[in-house]
Structure formats: structure tokens, C-alpha cells
Amino acid sequence: MRKRVFSGIQPTGNGHLHIGNLVGALRNWVAMQDDYECIYCVVDLHAMTVPYDPDTFRQARINTAKSLLAVGIDPARSLLYYQSQVPQHAELSWILSTITSIGQLERMTQYKEKQDKAGQNLGLLAYPVLMAADILLHKVHYVPVGDDQTQHLELTRDLVERFNSRFGEEFPLPERITPEIGARVMSLQDPTSKMSKSDPNPASYILLVDEPDVIRRKVRSAVTDSERYVAYDWEKKPGISNLLELMAFFTGRSIDDLVETYHDSGYAAFKDAVAEAIVEGLTPIRQTFKALDDDEVARVLQKGALDARQRAEQEMISVRKKVGLSAS
């Protein structure tokens, strides 16, 4: 029996994903479909913890789902759905919240970072508990997470041990999976910060649906350093190191090989080569995204939600019995 994997992604902003999502997570999600039983989710409830416009949010959900399909998530091989369409996520989150320490939640780095923007709302504070419920609802074995989510996975593991100790063995202890390369893609304008769509400067990130000329312009404007040689050194040359990792990802070549090829080429020629590698890699994704019909995508996600609800309900029968919410 194949091991089970779960991961989710938020439909933030307009829902368009960037190459940081692709390199750090999505390409890995696609590859895992060959070896694991995969469950992937557009975690729309999580996206509600900061102020948003409902109309924009509706389209963002669709755009995120289309992006997942465009990069290669296959509904015939993986379970794909909107989190909000499976109410057992919220039910299990409430159960887990009753055994979660408020102090643990207040120490979460993301809560500290976002509370000024979002206000001290309960949803933002309880976000990690819902994330734990997302994982534990399907009793998964592995979770692909980046460095910024490690703290949340550790809380999930704590809740597994707490629940199993208090109510009886129920949930497996989920393990972390991290891609070997490109776990973190940095901003093109500030290579000491993670690439993010929330950055007010659109030149700092490359969207999966960006047109080729837009990609070329963004790469050419990427911040590097005053030296003129290409080398892989995150301390002294973070901008060049970031571009090297991106080129290694999109070409399949090793960083050492790329450094040898472009060491004395000058930054302009190197950036042009990086841009063309990204353009070539993103073209099939962009074309597939454009060809997808919104209504058909909605139907695919609804079918996934129906399957997810049926599976989640079977898992929750045992949980309810253990915590005293069943008749017998």
C-alpha cells in the first residue's frame, strides 16, 4: 500500500502562482504522484485570515486550481479539491483546538509576522490548528513543506502525540518531505527575502502565467552585485546564487556546470540565458492554463470534494467515537 501525502496551497491575491511555488513545491507535488497516494487541496479557508475582496477571492480560487492542473496535478491520480467544500476539516480543527495551548499558537512566527496586517483575529491565531486538521483528517504519512512551515508541522506532530495519548491511538505521526534543490526561491529585487506575491514590486517575482517578454524584463532587472563574475555564494552573491538555482531547476544542469559555463560571461549574458530557460520551462504551463475552462475546472474540484468528503467521513467516525461524540 502506497504511503499517503497531503499538501495545500492558498489562493492569495489573484490566485496566480509564481515560480517560487513551482520550484519549492509544485514540481515536487507532480513527481510524488508516481510514488505516493497524493491528496492536494486549495486551502481557501486559510486565505480568509487576512482582509480580502470576495469577488477577487472567487476568481483566485479558480486560478489557483487551474495552476495546479496546468503544472501537472492529475485528478485521475490524485485527490484535488477545495478545502471549504469538505466540512470535516473544520470539524477536526475544532476538536484539535481543545487540546492546543494558546501559548504555542502565540509563538508561531507567521502569526507574529501577519498580526499587524490582519489584526489579532482568532482565525489567524488558530491557523496552525486548521493546518494540523488538514493533515490529520486524511491520516497522511508525509507532508511536503518548506522551511517557513516547519513550525506548523511540529505543532501537528505535538497534537498527534497529545491526542493519541489522551484518547487512544488514532493518527500516524506525519514526516516532512523537502525538495533537494530550490526549497526556497528568493525575490529578484531583494535576494535576501523569499519570493512573494505580496511584495508591492511585481518585478520581484515571476508568475507561472507571465508572458515571455515580461519574464525577460524581470530577470534582466534582477538585483545582483557590483562584481562581474558568476559564482555560487549565498553570503557574498545572493542574487547570482538565486539565479543559478533557478537555471539549474529549469535546465536540469548542475550548479557547478552552470558556474563553469557562465563564470566569465558577464551578468547580462548570464541573465539572458536564465530568462530563456525560465521562458522555455513555463511556456507549456502558461498555454495549458489558458486552455482550461473555468466551469470545467469547478466541476473537477467538486468531484474531488465529493470523494474527499466520503473519505473524511469514514476517518471522522473513529475520531468522534474516541472523543465521545458518537452514540456508542
Which DSSP string do the residues of 75-103 spell out, in sequence order? Answer: TTTSEEEEGGG-THHHHHHHHHHTT--HH
Residue 322 has pLDDT above 60, yes or no: yes
pLDDT at 294: 97
Residue 118 has pLDDT above 60, yes or no: no
Lateral strand order in the sheet of 37-42: 79-82, 37-42, 4-9, 142-144, 175-177
pLDDT at 181: 52
The torsion angle over the Cα atoms of residues 80, 84, 88 and 89, rounded to 10 degrees, is 80
| Window from 70-84, 122-136, 284-298 with minimum mean pLDDT | 122-136
What pLDDT, in 10s, does the model give residues 192-221? 999 988 888 999 999 999 999 999 999 999
Cα distance between residue 80 and residue 108, in whole Å? 28
Tell me if 313 sits within 8 A of 87, measured CB to CB: no
Candidate CATH numbers 3.20.20.450, 1.10.240.10, 3.10.180.10, 3.40.50.1980; the one for domain 202-289 = 1.10.240.10
Tell me if 185 sits within 8 A of 19, measured CB to CB: yes
pLDDT at 242: 96
Candidate CATH numbers 3.40.50.1100, 3.90.1200.10, 3.40.1000.10, 3.40.50.620; the one for domain 4-182+293-323 = 3.40.50.620
Residue 186 has pLDDT above 80, yes or no: yes
Cα distance between residue 23 and residue 184, in whole Å? 8
pLDDT at 304: 98
What pLDDT, in 10s, does the model give residues 222-253? 999 999 899 999 999 999 999 999 999 999 99
pLDDT at 49: 87
Sequential DSSP letters for 9-26: E---TTS--BHHHIIIII
Tell me the three cell numbers of residue 10: 492558498
Read off the pLDDT of each residue in 175-184 and give the average, rounded to a whole number: 69
Tell me the three cell numbers of residue 299: 466541476
Cα distance between residue 188 and residue 179, in whole Å? 21
Tell me the three cell numbers of residue 236: 557574498
Confidence of residue 285 (pLDDT cuts 50, 70, 90): very high
Mean pLDDT score of the chain, rounded to an integer? 93
Cα distance between residue 277 and residue 19, in whole Å? 12
Q: Where do the structural domains in the chain lie, given as residue ranges?
A: 4-182+293-323, 202-289
230-257 as b/e, with b when 16 or more CB fall inside 10 Å? beeeeeebbbbbbbbbbbbbbbeeeeee
Tell me if 156 sits within 8 A of 174, measured CB to CB: yes
Tell me if 23 sits within 8 A of 182, measured CB to CB: yes
* Closest to 130 measured CA to CA, from 25, 4, 43: 43
Which carries the bigger pLDDT value, residue 177 or residue 223? 223
Q: How many CA atoms lie within 13 A of 174 on its CB side?
A: 31
Read off the pLDDT of each residue in 149-169 and give the average, rounded to a whole number: 93
Residues marked as catalytic: 114, 194, 197
Torsion sign, CA atoms 48, 54, 56, 62: positive
Tell me if 278 sits within 8 A of 19, measured CB to CB: yes
How much of the chain, in percent, has pLDDT values that exceed 90?
80
